[in-house]
Amino acid sequence: MTDPRHSTDPALEFDRPVEQEPGAVDAEAPPAAATGELTPAEKAATREEHVRLAEGALVRADELVAGYLPGVNILRGCDFYLQDGELVGIIGPNGAGKSTLLKTLFGLIPVRSGSVTLRGEDITSAPAHRLVSLGVGYVPQNNNVFPSLTIEENMQMGVYLRPKTFKERFDYVVELFPLLGERRKGKAGSLSGGERQMVAMGRALMMDPSVLLLDEPSAGLSPAYQDEVFIRCRRINATGVSIIMVEQNARRCLQICDRGYVLDQGRNAYTDTGDSLMHDPKVIELYLGTLAKAH
C-alpha cells in the first residue's frame, strides 16, 4: 500500500487547513440561524433549486418516499442528483436514511412515491440486475464479499454478465488495488476489513460501471486505510466513473467530494460543494461538530 501522505496529486491532499475547529461557529458569519434566513446550502436543498440544478443529471431522484415497514416512511420526500463525472458525498446522523437512499436508488427497496431516473430514463424500483446491466454498481455497507470464494472468484462474480471481459477488467482493478492481484488465490474470508472493502469495490468495478454507489467505504478501517480508500475513490472517479458515496467520516468525505448532501430524517437538509458545507455555520453546528468528535 502506498502511503497517502506521499501523494503528489494536489487533489488528493487531505491536510488542507480547515479554518474552524469542529463545532466552532464563526462569530463573523451571517446570522442566518438567528434570523431564520436560509443559508446557501439550505436554499440549494429546496425543491425549487433542486429542480433547477438537477437538469440533465446522470442520476436523479425526486421527492422519494420509501421505507421498510408498512406505514413507516424512512425517506420522506428526498431529492438528489448526480451530474456526469461528479463525486457526490452523502453525510448525516445515524439513522438519517443514507443507506436507505442508496438501496432505493439501486432498486432494493420499493418506492412508495417519487421517481428515480438514469440518463433521463425512468428506473424507479427497477430490479438490481437491470441496473447493473445499465452500468450502476453498488457496494453495500456490510456483507459485501463472498467469504468462501477466492478473490479471483469474487471478481468473476462481478462479470457474470460479460465473462469475456474478465482479463481486461481484472487488470484495471489490479492496477487500482495491487493487493487483489497478489492475493488472487486467497479466500476473501481470510482478508482484513480494509482488504475486503477493496474486494467489494473491485467486484463492482469489474462490470465497468458508469455510476458507483458506495455505502461507507471507510467504515471500520484504521486512519491510514481510510485515507487510502478516499484516495482510491478519487482515482476511480478520475477514470470516468461517477460516484455517490455515503460516509460517516464526514470531514474527509466533504474534502474529497465535488458536492455533498446532508441528509436528516429522510430529507436532504443541505447541499453545496464539499468545501462550502464544511464551512457552513449551521452544518458545522448541527452535524460536523458531533460527527467530527465521534471520529
Ligand X SMILES: Nc1ncnc2c1ncn2[C@@H]1O[C@H](COP(=O)(O)OP(=O)(O)OP(=O)(O)O)[C@@H](O)[C@H]1O
Positions in the binding site for ligand X (CB under 6 A): 68-69, 74, 92, 94-100, 248
* Bridge partners for 139 per DSSP: 214
C-alpha cell of 81? 442528483
Min dist. Cβ of residue 245 to Mg ion (A): 12
Please name the helix (run of DSSP H) or strand (run of DSSP E) that holds residue 272, with its range, or none: strand 267-273
Min dist. Cβ of residue 264 to ligand X (A): 9
Amino acid identity for residue 194 in this structure: G
Instruction: Quickly count: other Cβ atoms within 10 Å of residue 35's Cβ.
Output: 8
Segment contacting Mg ion by CB under 5 A, of 5-13, 54-62, 96-104, 234-242: 96-104
DSSP 14: -
Min dist. Cβ of residue 102 to ligand X (A): 8
Does residue 98 contact residue 244 with C-beta atoms inside 8 Å?
A: no
137 makes contact, choosing from ligand X, Mg ion, none, with CB < 5 to 8 Å by partner type, with none
Backbone torsion region of residue 109, taken as left when φ is above 0, otherwise alpha when ψ lies between -120 and 50, otherwise beta: beta
Smallest CA-to-CA distance from 32 within 293, 287, 288, 284 is with 284
Does residue 134 contact residue 58 with C-beta atoms inside 8 Å?
A: no
Instruction: Indicate whether 248 belongs to the interface with Mg ion (CB under 5 A).
Output: no
Among 39, 99, 210, 271, binds Mg ion (CB under 5 A): 99
23 makes contact, choosing from ligand X, Mg ion, none, with CB < 5 to 8 Å by partner type, with none
Min dist. Cβ of residue 176 to ligand X (A): 25
Q: Which is nearer to ligand X, 144 or 248 (CB)?
A: 248
Q: Which is nearer to ligand X, 177 or 264 (CB)?
A: 264
Q: Determine the Cα–Cα distance for residues 265 and 258; give it in Å rounded to an integer.
A: 23
95 makes contact, choosing from Mg ion, ligand X, none, with CB < 5 to 8 Å by partner type, with ligand X
Q: Which is nearer to Mg ion, 12 or 91 (CB)?
A: 91
Give me the residues that bind Mg ion (CB under 5 A), please. 98-99
